[in-house]
Amino acid sequence: MTVQFRAIACLLLLTAGAFAGPTHASAGDAVKILAFGDSLTAGYQLPPEAAFPVQLENALKPRYPDVTVVNAGVSGDTTKGGLARLDWALSDDVDAVILELGANDALRGVNPVFTDQALDGIVLKLKQRGIEVLIAGMRAPPNLGQDYAAAFDPIFSRLADKHQALLYPFFLEGVAADPKLNLADGMHPTAEGVARIVENILPAVEALIARVNAR
């Protein structure tokens, strides 16, 4: 092979590499997760460092030092409100979303059909933008009756199946109805309660990160 031929071959390889497009993400790549929810995400009556997104990021850092978790929780938000504010809550560099909405719909007795439609709209928008989703499920309060629960509770798993999204079945698993892990209102977790949520949901979030890194 002549020197001139080698030079041409190298140039062709470099040119091909320039147009080959992005490579798949690796485990060390930066990943930005948006925690999109209500007061359970926002950290109602807690210091900022005790809120779910901060505690989750701290728990992830030892294994995923380049992961950031952004707090996009709004106290009192419903699924309808979440759908309305989704576009301006998202930045172009968001890779994944933890979707935690629905508790306020249940507390207000919103028709589960409307909750389903709003959550479906949120997940659809996220998937259309290529954003991976972890749906954090919720359960209806017992005082709303069995009929309401039968219509409300399955929404989250059904949407996860429909959109092939990840699912964490119940965001307050191990925390709901435990006085030691909730504030005096009995609905919002203490800092220790949030720590329990983070501990429980961590494997699902790691699966979310794996999906981002596999793209």
Tell me which residues are annotated as active site: 39, 185, 188
Q: What is the strand order of the sheet 31-37 is part of?
A: 67-73, 31-37, 96-100, 132-136, 166-168
**Cβ atoms of 163 and 124 closer than 8 Å:** yes
Rounded distance between C-alpha atoms, residue 31 and residue 25, angstroms: 9
Rounded distance between C-alpha atoms, residue 161 and residue 16, angstroms: 39
